Amino acid sequence: PAPARARPAASRRVLVADDNRGAAEGLGLLLRLGGHETRVAHDGHAALAAAAEFRPDVALLDIGMPGLDGYEVALRLRAMPGGEALRLV
């Protein structure tokens, strides 16, 4: 018999922020292939700008970005309208 297929996960709007361009783009592509809508940013300021426009459900943040690190980005995302519901990773 054919193997049972897992139900696909609900599509999410995902923001990926990482100064390692290859890692960020690769993760963004993987998420898109999984059916999610994604935006990729390569620094903290770009991540905040993308979040304001894109309104993600989930944000995957690199902690060690130069300039504005992931911790500061997380604090600022939480302070945005609707930020309390944003899932941060």
The series of mean pLDDT values per 10 residues for the chain, 89 residues long, is: 65 97 98 97 97 97 94 97 95
Name the residue among 38, 87, 47 with its Cα closest to residue 67: 47
Q: Measured at the alpha carbon of residue 60, what is the angle toward residues 59 and 64, in degrees to the nearest 5? A: 125
The CA distance from 25 to 42, in Å, is 9
Amino acid at the residue 87: R
Please tell me the pTM assigned to this model: 0.88
Q: Measured at the alpha carbon of residue 76, what is the angle toward residues 75 and 80, in degrees to the nearest 5? A: 120
